[in-house]
Amino acid sequence: MMTIALQGAEFFAYHGFYPEEQKLGCRFLVDVEVDFTPKTNFSDDNINNTVDYEKVYNIVCEEMKHPRKLIETVAEAVIDRIVKKYSFVQAIRVAVKKLNPPLLGKIACSSVTINYKPAK
């Protein structure tokens, strides 16, 4: 099994439960890990035999552009799109972190992590 990963992809987006969050926006970090067994060995040096992390990054970019109330919804949408694009994945982990969330105290980030494994 192999894992491709994106760590700390940073975005400015408009996700949040409160209307002010959806109006003002804030910074987010997204981590994605995708486990899979390669279609073939890599001696042919063909990107079609792996999960292309550039395409995964583009999926995350597109989903971050759609304002949602819950970061859980964002993470789930990313997973759904990766599964649709790469049916051979064995596991996916997506973490979405909201930097400096609007709480009463100083908090570095709030986050959600969703783990996906296909049903057998």
User: Catalytic amino acids?
Assistant: 98
Distance CA 44, CA 30 (A): 31
Distance CA 78, CA 9 (A): 13
- Whether 10 and 25 have beta carbons less than 8 Å apart is answered as no
